[in-house]
Amino acid sequence: MVLADLNKGDKGIIKGVSVKGMLKNRLDSLGIYKGSNLFIAELSLAKSTIKIIVDNTMTALRIEEAKNIEVEKV
């Protein structure tokens, strides 16, 4: 399951991030890496962006980015 599959209010644990380069560095700096707990705070109406909370940090990701983050729903 990937982050883009989750719905508002769902919780999960990041199992892996399959991106490289600058995006990998950006996600790491926001605490989005293997083992982190997350909560889906909001989804845009067109589900083009997803707002998540990871270890007390709220951030928004494009749905294309969220498709590269493997999660386990809890």
Residue 47 is predicted with a pLDDT of: 87
Q: What is the pLDDT of residues 37-55, one digit of tens each?
A: 999 999 998 889 999 999 8
CA distance 43 to 63: 9
pTM here is 0.91
Q: What is the pLDDT of residues 13-27, one digit of tens each?
A: 999 999 999 999 999
Residue 29 is predicted with a pLDDT of: 93
Note whether 27 and 17 are within 8 A (CB).
yes
| DSSP category for residue 3 | G
Residue 36 has pLDDT above 90, yes or no: yes
Which residues, listed in sequence order, are joined to residue 12 by a DSSP beta bridge? 38, 73
CA distance 50 to 60: 5
Report, at the CATH architecture level, how domain 3-73 is classified: Roll (2.30)
